[in-house]
Structure 1
Amino acid sequence: MEAAGGGTTMKTVCVTGAGGFVASWLVERLLAGGRYMVHGTVRDPGDAKNAHLLGLDGAAERLRLLKADLLDYGSVAAAIAGCGGVFHVACPVPDYALTDPEVEILAPAVTGTMNVLRACSEAEVVKRVVVVSSLSAVMIKPEWGECKVMDEGCWSDVDLCRTTENWYCLSKTLAEREAFDYAKRTGIDVVSVCPSLVIGPLLQPTLNASSSVVVDFLKGDRLVKMKLRHFVDVRDVADALLLVYESPAASGRYICNSHPRLVSDVIKLLKSWYPTYQYATKFVQVSHEPPFSSKKLQALGWKFRPFEETLRDSVESFKAAGVLD
Structure 2
Amino acid sequence: MLQKWYPVSKTLAEKAAWEFSEKHGLDVVAIHPATCLGPLLQPNLNASCAVLQQLLQGSKDTHEYHWLGAVHVKDVAEAQILLFESPTASGRYLCTNGIYQFGDFAERVSKIVPEFPVHRFIGETQPGLMSCKDAAKRLIDLGLEFTPVENAVWDTVESLRAKDFLGQEESQS
Q: Is the 8 A contact 2:101 2:129 kept in 1?
A: no
- Tell me which of 31, 34, 46 is aligned to 1:208: 46
Larger Rg: 1
Provide, for residues 190-235 of structure 1, a one-character-per-residue CA deviation record: whole Å limited to 9, x for no partner: 2111111211221222211111111111113x33216662111111
- Say whether the 8 Å CA contact 1:224–1:282 is kept in structure 2: no
Q: 2:102–2:126: 8 Å Cα contact kept in structure 1?
A: no
Whole-angstrom distance in 1 between the partners of 2:36 and 2:161 = 18
Pair 1:302-2:144 in alignment: yes
Alignment partners' CA distance in 1, 2:151 and 2:53: 16
Asked if 1 retains the 8 angstrom alpha-carbon contact of 2:76 and 2:95, the reply is: yes
RMSD: 2.8
Give the residue type in structure 2 aligned to 1:223. Answer: K
Which residue in 1 is equivalent to 2:62? 225
CA distance in 2, matches of 1:279, 1:293: 26
**Structure 2 stretches lacking a partner, 5+ long:** 168-173
The TM-score normalised by the length of structure 2 is 0.78
Where do 1:19-98 residues align within 5 Å?
Answer: none
Following superposition, the deviation at residue 271 of structure 1 comes to 3.2
Of stretches 278-287 and 254-263 in structure 1, the one that deviates more from structure 2 is 278-287
Cα distance between partner residues in 2 of 1:323 and 1:305: 23
Post-superposition CA distance 1:125-155 (Å, at most 9, x none) = xxxxxxxxxxxxxxxxxxxxxxxxxxxxxxx
Give the letter for the 1:171 counterpart.
S
C-alpha distance after superposition, 1:214-269 (max 9, x if no partner): 1111113x332166621111110111111111211111211112123333343333
Distance 2:36 2:118 in 1: 21
Contact 1:194–1:253 at 8 Å: present in 2 too? yes
**Given the two structures, how large is their TM-score scaled by the length of structure 1?**
0.44
SS of the residue aligned with 2:165? coil
Q: Percent identity?
A: 36
C-alpha change, 1:172 and 1:279, in structure 2 (3 Å) is same
Letter in 2 for 1:266: F
Structure 2 match to 1:174: 12
Q: Distance in 2 between matches of 1:183 and 1:249?
A: 17
Query: Is residue 287 of structure 1 aligned with residue 127 of structure 2?
Result: yes
- 1:94-117 superposed Cα distances (whole Å, 9 cap, x missing partner): xxxxxxxxxxxxxxxxxxxxxxxx
Contact 1:258 1:304 in 2 (8 A): yes
Q: 1:184 aligns with which of 8, 12, 22?
A: 22
Tell me how far 1:186 sits from its aligned partner: 0.8
- Corresponding residue number in structure 2 for 1:155: none
State the 1:288 CA deviation: 5.4
Stretches of structure 1 lacking an aligned partner (at least 5 in a row): 1-162
Counterpart residue type for residue 225 of structure 1: T
Secondary structure (helix, strand or coil) at the match of 2:108 reads helix
Question: 1:183·1:190 contact (CA, 8 Å) conserved in 2?
Answer: yes
SS at match of 1:316: helix
If asked which structure has higher relative contact order (CA below 8 Å, sep 6+), I would say 2
Match of residue 275 from structure 1: 114
- Counting only pairs closer than 5 Å after superposition, residues 306-325 of structure 1 correspond to structure 2 as 306-325=148-167
SS at match of 2:61: strand
The change in CA–CA distance for 1:254 and 1:276 in structure 2 (over 3 A counts) is closer
CA distance in 2, matches of 1:295, 1:275: 32
Aligned to 1:252: 91
State the 1:280 CA deviation. Answer: 4.0
Cα distance in structure 2, aligned partners of 1:241 and 1:206: 23
Q: Which of the numbers 73, 88, 105 marks the counterpart of 1:266?
A: 105
- Residue 317 of structure 1 aligns to a residue in which SS? helix
Q: Kindly provide the CA deviation profile for residues 35-65 of structure 1, in whole angstroms up to 9, marking residues without a partner as x.
A: xxxxxxxxxxxxxxxxxxxxxxxxxxxxxxx
Residues 1:273 and 1:206: Cα distance change in structure 2 (over 3 Å): same
